[in-house]
Amino acid sequence: LEAMGLDLNKLNSALADRGQALANLNSDMDKMRKALSEYQARAATLERIKERMLALRKKLESLTRLGLNVNIRKNRMIISLPGDILFDSGKTELKPDGRNVLREVAKVVRNDQTLMSRDFQVAGHTDNKPLKGGPYLDNWGLSLMRARTVLVFLVTPTDIAPSGHGANRIEPGGGLPQNRWSASGYGETDPVVANSSPDQMQRNRRVELIVMPNVEEMLDLKSLTTVP
């Protein structure tokens, strides 16, 4: 009987161990199911973001006929306008062709409710050639004032009467909502290519219209750099 009692104790101990192992396995499986569910939800969110960004880019593709570039850079949708189209060297007054291009950009945005509901930032960029003289002190100052000039033009009403002369001239603008637009200047600090040749320096002289990401899109926009 004593031997049988010992065997029964061993059996109970073995059953307890098996029960604990089964409980641990069930716990691990629950964790795996939860992780899989979270992954699937995140993947679905990213797919929605990707589709939304592709739709935004498709809406903006018509701007390429104006010589503009629409792409995703640094996890943001960007409309890139060559600086030489907009401004003369070292200047912040918009050229006539530049105003016409900006009116076309504004028209595309105005005619689409999705784009009108988005926030945009106008970002000015320069090459690395030091600025000599003038009121802007350096490339940061020049890029910021150019961004401000573009911003002011884009939010100026379309039906305003022309007035003034030179840098103070006011013309009908883009008619975009002021509360959706802001401006920034990066100077020479964010080049798209090395400043190793005149052509490369020209590419770096640009103004970008950045579609700012919303809260959901900020979750993990790095994955969107693979958008074709």
The residue whose two tokens read 């030489």 is: 84
In the prediction, which pLDDT does 226 show? 46
Mean pLDDT of 13-22: 78
Residues 6 or more apart from 154 whose CB is under 8 A from it? 102, 105, 106, 122, 173, 174, 176, 181
Q: Which CATH number fits domain 49-226: 3.20.20.370, 3.20.20.80, 3.30.479.30, 3.30.1330.60?
A: 3.30.1330.60
Q: In which band, very low, low, confident or very high, does the pLDDT at 191 lie, cut at 50, 70 and 90?
A: very high
- With a cut of 80, say whether residue 188 has pLDDT above it: yes
Q: Residue 228: its pLDDT value, please?
A: 45
Cα separations (Å) of 12 from 7, 26, 90, 216?
9, 21, 88, 53
pTM of the model: 0.76
Tens digit of pLDDT for each residue in 123-151?
999 999 998 878 888 999 999 999 999 99
Please report the pLDDT score of residue 49 as a whole number. 72
Q: What is the pLDDT of residue 6?
A: 61
Range scoring the smallest mean pLDDT among 124-128, 169-173, 208-212, 219-223: 219-223
